[in-house]
Amino acid sequence: MAVVMNVFLHFLCFSASLYSVTGLNSDGKTLLSMLKHWTVTPLSIKFSWNAAHSSPCSWAGVKCDNRIDAQFVVALNLSSFDISGWLGPEIANLKHLKSIDLSYNRLFGSIPPELGNCTLLEDLDLSDNNLTGGIPQSIGNLHNLQSLTLGQNSLGGTIPPSIWNSTSIEYLCLNLNHLVGSLPRSLENLEELVYLDVSNNLLEGNLPSVLGNCKKMDTFVFSENLFSGNLPSVFGNIPPELGGCKSLVELRLYENQLEGEIPVELGKLSDLEDLYLFTNRLTGKIPTSIWKIPGLRNVLLYQNHFSGELPEEITEMKLLRYLLLYSNKFSGVIPQGLGINSSLEIVDVSDNQFTGNLPPDLCFGNQLRVLYLGLNNIQGSIPPGVWRCSSLKRLILKQNQLTDDGITMESLLLGFVCGLILGLLTASLMFYTHKPRWFHEIIEVLEICVSSRKQKKN
């Protein structure tokens, strides 16, 4: 019976475009005609897209504007339907579409340029497919477009300049493709832009210095591209104009080839929570204005050439969670108030030139999970607030000038921790039931033991 039903449905589907099916309106016929390009049609579509209906309004993934008697399709949401196949040009016949969401399928081939005919489109999401070819120029005809999401495909070529004419775009996401070329000055046309993500492409050139009226932008992701600059200036290649993007909450410019200093103007980003500038070639001191942004939570500046000391202002950043500064040339004493009245979770300042004592209150909020201090010149003993930190799972102290006077290093790290490892060798069961969370950290812990034993020998 199921087989007969299936054959019957197939007959209906595939005959729909050949023979006019009495009753079914034109949008319904268009939808059925799209099926012929699909190699895998999900069951929910097979069973609900019924050519005997008069309109497609009850079909899976289809939404009509029911106020209009003609029952036009206004939204098509087949996200995660497991469709495999090609997106045919027929879709452009659905002239009343305002929203298309075909994300998370296995669509391949290129984006039909005919989509530019769906001029009422406000929302187009083709992300997470296997689309190739370029972004059609005709997308620029979609003057009502508010959200364009083409991320996680294999799209190539340049971003067509016409896109920058779709001035109503608020959300533009082109990440994880193979797009080349640079971002043009005309980006400034997109005054409504709230979210821009062009990360993980092959884009190059300067970061556009004219970000126009980016007053509404809250997220800016330009990471993992080939952005680099050729105009040397004191501000380097992070354009100071970015400081005008007042609503920015996330700024992600990591893994590029950015040079120069962080512009002081970035300190004007008073809503900023995430500052990800890691793995670039940035130099100089971090402007104090940055450390004064009250809501900053995650500061990831590792693998650059930053220098200078951390200012006292850092101790006022009560919302700071992640502070990752490793592999730079920071120097001086880490401000001793760091961590007081806050809840740091990950602190990695390893591979710098820090001196002085360890701040005693890094674990104040009992959230500290990772503390990496290796490869510095930190002196003195490990403060009780650190060795008593019960949330701590990973600790690297190697290659510093830490002394293990008194009970600290000796009895807690060598005694307690290394004792546990010895315990593991002789009675592994006990270990498992005792402190299993250390299991994954053995390597790190061994590093502590080995480096402190070496110190003892010398």
Ligand X SMILES: *[C@@H]1O[C@H](CO)[C@@H](O)[C@H](O)[C@H]1NC(C)=O
What residues make contact with ligand X under the rule CB under 6 A?
A: 77, 79, 92, 99, 101, 106, 108, 113-114, 116-117, 123, 130, 138, 140, 161-162, 165, 337, 340-341
CA 21 to CA 33: how far, in whole Å? 12
- Describe the strand order of the beta sheet including 38-40 as a list of residue ranges: 38-40, 84-86, 106-110, 130-132
CA 87 to CA 422: how far, in whole Å? 61
At its nearest, how many Å lie between ligand X and the CB of residue 231? Answer: 26
Residue 167 or 411 having the CB closest to ligand X? 167
At its nearest, how many Å lie between ligand X and the CB of residue 322? Answer: 20
Residue 255 or 361 having the CB closest to ligand X? 361
At its nearest, how many Å lie between ligand X and the CB of residue 117? Answer: 4
Locate all alpha helices (DSSP H) within 136-256, ordered by sequence.
none
CA 43 to CA 49: how far, in whole Å? 10
Q: Tokens 């370029």 identify what position?
A: 134
Residue 204 or 316 having the CB closest to ligand X? 316
At its nearest, how many Å lie between ligand X and the CB of residue 138? Answer: 5
Residue 335 or 374 having the CB closest to ligand X? 335
At its nearest, how many Å lie between ligand X and the CB of residue 72? Answer: 15
Task: Output the DSSP codes for 114-139.
Answer: GGGG-TT--EEE--SSEEESBPPGGG
At its nearest, how many Å lie between ligand X and the CB of residue 94? Answer: 10
Measuring CA to CA, which residue among 154, 109, 145 is closest to residue 127?
A: 154
How many alpha carbons fall within 13 Å on the CB side of residue 181? 12
Residue 71 or 117 having the CB closest to ligand X? 117
Residue 258 or 314 having the CB closest to ligand X? 314
At its nearest, how many Å lie between ligand X and the CB of residue 163? Answer: 8
**Cβ–Cβ < 8 Å for 209, 239:** yes
At its nearest, how many Å lie between ligand X and the CB of residue 367? Answer: 16
Instruction: Please report, for residues 62, 116, 133, 149, the alpha-carbon distance to residue 79 in angstroms, rounded to integers and kept in the order given.
Output: 11, 21, 21, 13
Residue 126 or 448 having the CB closest to ligand X? 126
CA 367 to CA 390: how far, in whole Å? 9
CA 173 to CA 431: how far, in whole Å? 48
Q: What angle do CA 173, 177, 180 make, to 5 degrees?
A: 100
Residue 162 or 228 having the CB closest to ligand X? 162
What is the biggest distance separating any 2 CA atoms in the chain, rounded to whole angstroms? 93
**CB-neighbour burial class of residue 120 (10 A; exposed 0-12, middle 13-18, buried 19+):** middle
**Cβ–Cβ < 8 Å for 116, 100:** no
Residue 307 or 336 having the CB closest to ligand X? 336
* Phi, psi (rounded to 5 degrees) for 252: -120, 105
| Six token digits for residue 122 | 């406000």
**Cβ–Cβ < 8 Å for 351, 327:** yes
At its nearest, how many Å lie between ligand X and the CB of residue 34? Answer: 14
The one-letter amino acid code at 415 reads: G
Residue 101 or 404 having the CB closest to ligand X? 101
At its nearest, how many Å lie between ligand X and the CB of residue 369? Answer: 22
How many alpha carbons fall within 13 Å on the CB side of residue 231? 10
Residue 192 or 447 having the CB closest to ligand X? 192
CA 276 to CA 279: how far, in whole Å? 9
Give the distance, in angstroms, between the CA of residue 307 and the centroid of all CA atoms in the same chain. Answer: 27
At its nearest, how many Å lie between ligand X and the CB of residue 135? Answer: 12
